[in-house]
Amino acid sequence: MPEGDTIFRTAHTLHRALTGQRVTQFETVLPHLARVEIDSPITGRTIDNVEARGKWLLIHLSGDLALLTHMLMSGSWHIYRPGERWQRGRIHMRIVLHTERILAIAFNVQVAEFHTATSLERRAGLTTLGPSLLAPQFDAAKAVARLRSRPELEIGSALMTQSLLAGVGNVFKSEICFAANVHPFRLVQSLTDAELAALVATARKFLQANVADLADASTVTYRGFRRTTDRLALDARLWVYDRAGQPCRHCATPIDSYRQGPGARTTYWCPRCQSAQSITTAAR
């Protein structure tokens, strides 16, 4: 599933390419979106702006209408010049916004809805988002308080709970816990305020670092190599994620892994570098 940095990059790229342009044609294979085009045409509207909210992406159109999408595990947005060859087959197309200069295409996007400002305020999953790590006015104290409000959660799961903190996915979860020297299976209630503050600060640092080169953003949803270390080698860009059995980059202890949370996503950690007090028995 794309993480917060990917969605932020996507919104930035789409905003730069589409803002101020008029929709000359709207295509979709999704019946509920096609119905809106018939009843209240998208064609002819102007694209006002594009924004990211956690893992949600919003394309705001003139006339109080917004296209809300979530990429889930396999979705992506691409932009092309008219006549340019698509990198994905048309069978994967779900939405196309045509303008005179750009085609914005959503491939395999499973959640796509049109909303007014009023209906957006009621959209479950969007209105309950926690502080977004890439928001300009990010409130770290509020983020810590949100995490503290769920003392029964393991911190690895808490970091991925979007109603507590918006933007962290499975890769960053493990990387954040390692960099903050916190075992991912510790319960939130076992963590000190200083540890929670360090986790939040690390999360924001990692996500910001992975959108720092937006001046060079490509015309395709970012699927590049996420980096949390300062090492140049491609195979050394992450501390622990997807490195089970390999030596820790700090102490050479083999990296451990275990499935965690409702989605049973694999979590990685160093048994020596990361404190293991107050963890659940599920983590051994």
pTM: 0.79
The one catalytic residue among 45, 205, 237, 265: 265
Cα angle vertex 174, ends 191, 69, to 5°? 110
Instruction: For residue 220, give every residue at least 6 positions away whose Cβ sits within 8 Å of its Cβ, in sequence order, or none.
Output: 76, 78, 79, 87
Can you give the pLDDT at residue 224? 54
Q: How far is the C-alpha of 242 from the C-alpha of 152, rounded, in Å?
A: 26
Amino acid at 93: M
Q: How far is the C-alpha of 79 from the C-alpha of 109, rounded, in Å?
A: 15
Q: Given the structure tokens 């965690």, which residue do they identify?
A: 260
CATH 3.30.1330.10 for the 4-120 domain, yes or no: no
Every domain of the chain and the residues it spans: 4-120, 140-283
Please indicate whether residue 37 is annotated as part of the active site. no
Say yes or no: do domains 4-120 and 140-283 share a fold.
no
The one catalytic residue among 3, 154, 175, 195: 3
Please indicate whether residue 3 is annotated as part of the active site. yes
Can you give the pLDDT at residue 1? 54
Q: Kindly tell me the sign of the dihedral angle through the C-alpha atoms of 214, 142, 173, 49.
A: negative
For each successive 10 residues of the chain (284 residues), what is the average pLDDT? 78 93 97 93 96 92 96 88 93 96 94 95 89 90 96 97 92 95 96 96 91 54 65 81 95 96 92 73 42
The DSSP line for 205-235 is HHHHHTTTTGGG--SB---S----SS--SGG
Please indicate whether residue 41 is annotated as part of the active site. no
The DSSP line for 158-183 is HHH-TTTSBS--HHHHHHHHHHTTB-
Please indicate whether residue 142 is annotated as part of the active site. no
CATH 1.10.8.50 for the 140-283 domain, yes or no: yes
